Amino acid sequence: MTQNKPEILVIEDDKGLQKQLKWSLDEYHVVLAEDKESSLVELRRFQPKVITLDLGLPPDPANATIGLELLEDILKLSPSSKIIVVTGNDQREVAMRSVELGAYDYYQKPIQPEELKLIIKRALELANLEEESRVYHRNENMRFHGIVATSPKMLSVCQKIEKVAPTELNVLLVGDSGTGKEVLARAVHNLSSRQDKPFVHLNCAAIPENLLETELFGYDASGFSDNKSTSHGKIEEANQGVLFLDEIGKMPMSVQAKLMRVLNEGVTARVGSREEKTVNLRVICSAHDDLAQQVQQGKFREDLFYKLDEITIKIPPLAERDGDVVLIARTMLNKFNKQFGRNIRGFTKDAVQAMEAYSWPGNVRELENKVKSAVVMSENSQISAEELQIEESQLREMPLNLRQVREAAETRAIQRAIVLADGNISQAAKLLGLTRPTLYSLMDKYSIHS
């Protein structure tokens, strides 16, 4: 199927050579052009990574000026494209001039398909590597202390963290499981004045109730026997730094009362000991459930809730982060390529479409697991939707309201175009078949950021 074949643009006015090249380059989607006007039209339509250009356009070996002008026009419109100029035997100086202007390589007629295919293959590999590098650096620029985001909702979360981090306010992070609450908590710590102090993590849901108190406050056996063994609690470990209490809603009421005293009075005591120690903490909590509802039900202390809820930041699920899924997946692909010694170069078009249409009930954690599994198991250069274990039956249905359908489709298309164009708005507009002012207008309409 041509949609998964790399596009190459062949600029050649000889009909016989056109047929020969299209037949011999069957592993590519060959786009043909025979003059300057059609060449620029097809260039804008397909944005091919590799182009072969016959410098004899028009067919006059003594004058390749138009061919060189076309070369310069192509490089202005698509500077990342690899151009292989095709010349006659008596055009070596012109060929060298084309390389000086920015052509990738040149090839002299008569054409030998196998030799030309090798040059095209190398040019495409280089173009792919350069694209990966651009995407990697762009993703690095989009990183916010470990967070990869371009969606308006997630960028809003990042802005809130930037504002609250320098303060000493306690922060409550609310979001579904797998949305990255620990990563965001670390971002608050890293942007605060406590960044060089301890960051201590305790998952309240992962520890049995009868052990949670000693895990949090520590243990002093001397209060019960001659055994002098003691254990530091997480509160002591986090002194002068940040204590991150994950799934705070799972904390028993008895432990909540002791935590409230620590926050009010700044003192803590180990289980089994009467000795109190002064501590200075900033507390960041996360919750999957609605803590306010738990307060109403009598399952969570109201005073502790308001003490912890000085600032609440709600984290959107991955399915609501338009444009982020593919960016995060590419970042994970680079990570797992290095971890497992693989060289997988990206995702197929069907994989990109599936990732965008899938509901991601497990959020970022589920995406990470699927990408990791695909990197380990894939035998191809690109990961497919099947290798991501996303089936068509799992994809979300679009709403029936025509306005919602249009707005959702336009938003997603614009986000995809911006991603594929590496954030270049002019290139994104060309991919969408729009003028740049029109694209900017639509971006304003849908609150899309480049």
In this predicted model, what pLDDT tens digit does every residue of 324-336 receive, in sequence order? Answer: 898 899 889 999 9
- Host H or E run for residue 154: helix 152-164
**What is the spatial distance between Cα 244 and Cα 233, in angstroms, rounded to a whole number?**
13
Residues 439, 380, single domain; the answer is: no
What average pLDDT does this structure show over 170-196? 92
Contact 107, 54 (CB under 8 A): no
What average pLDDT does this structure show over 40-66? 74
The CATH number covering residue 52 comes to 3.40.50.2300
What average pLDDT does this structure show over 437-444? 83
Residues 281, 343, single domain; the answer is: no
For residue 281, the 8-state DSSP code is -
Residues 181, 269, single domain; the answer is: yes
Residues 305, 322, single domain; the answer is: no
Residues of the domain holding 386: 318-396
Residues 418, 338, single domain; the answer is: no
Answer yes or no: is 132 within a domain. Answer: yes
Indicate whether 345 pLDDT > 90.
no
What is the helix, strand, coil percentage profile of the chain, to 5? Answer: 50, 15, 35
What average pLDDT does this structure show over 378-383? 90
For the ranges 48-52, 108-112, 139-143, 438-442, the lowest mean pLDDT is seen at 139-143
**What is the spatial distance between Cα 307 and Cα 322, in angstroms, rounded to a whole number?**
34
What average pLDDT does this structure show over 264-280? 90
Q: What is the pTM of this model?
A: 0.59
Indicate whether 194 pLDDT > 90.
yes
Residues 84, 32, single domain; the answer is: yes
Instruction: Please give the tally of structural domains in the chain.
Output: 4
Residues 209, 300, single domain; the answer is: yes
* Higher-confidence position of 266 and 139: 266
**What is the spatial distance between Cα 78 and Cα 131, in angstroms, rounded to a whole number?**
13
Indicate whether 139 pLDDT > 70.
no
Confidence grade of residue 201 (pLDDT, cut at 50, 70, 90): very high
Confidence grade of residue 140 (pLDDT, cut at 50, 70, 90): low
Quote the percentage of the chain above a pLDDT of 90. Answer: 44
- Kindly write down the DSSP assignment for every residue of 207-233, as one continuous string: S-HHHHHHHHHEEEGGGTSS---EEE-
Residues 299, 322, single domain; the answer is: no
Answer yes or no: is 38 within a domain. Answer: yes
Residues 92, 9, single domain; the answer is: yes
Residues 312, 322, single domain; the answer is: no
* Higher-confidence position of 231 and 361: 361
The CATH number covering residue 450 comes to 1.10.10.60
Give the pLDDT confidence score for residue 400 in this predicted structure: 44
Residues 299, 338, single domain; the answer is: no
Give the pLDDT confidence score for residue 1 in this predicted structure: 42
Q: Which of 82, 109, 140 is the last residue of a domain?
A: 140
What average pLDDT does this structure show over 252-271? 92
Confidence grade of residue 10 (pLDDT, cut at 50, 70, 90): very high
Give the pLDDT confidence score for residue 423 in this predicted structure: 81
What average pLDDT does this structure show over 360-375? 94
Answer yes or no: is 145 within a domain. Answer: no
Residues in CB range of 242: below 8 A, 6 or more apart: 185, 188, 189, 192, 194, 197, 198, 199, 200, 281, 282, 283, 284
**What is the spatial distance between Cα 235 and Cα 216, in angstroms, rounded to a whole number?**
6
The CATH number covering residue 310 comes to 3.40.50.300
Q: What is the SS3 assignment for 67-102?
A: HHHHHHHHHHHCCCCEEEEEECCCCHHHHHHHHHHC
Q: Which of 353, 371, 396 is the last residue of a domain?
A: 396
Q: Which of 116, 140, 164 is the last residue of a domain?
A: 140
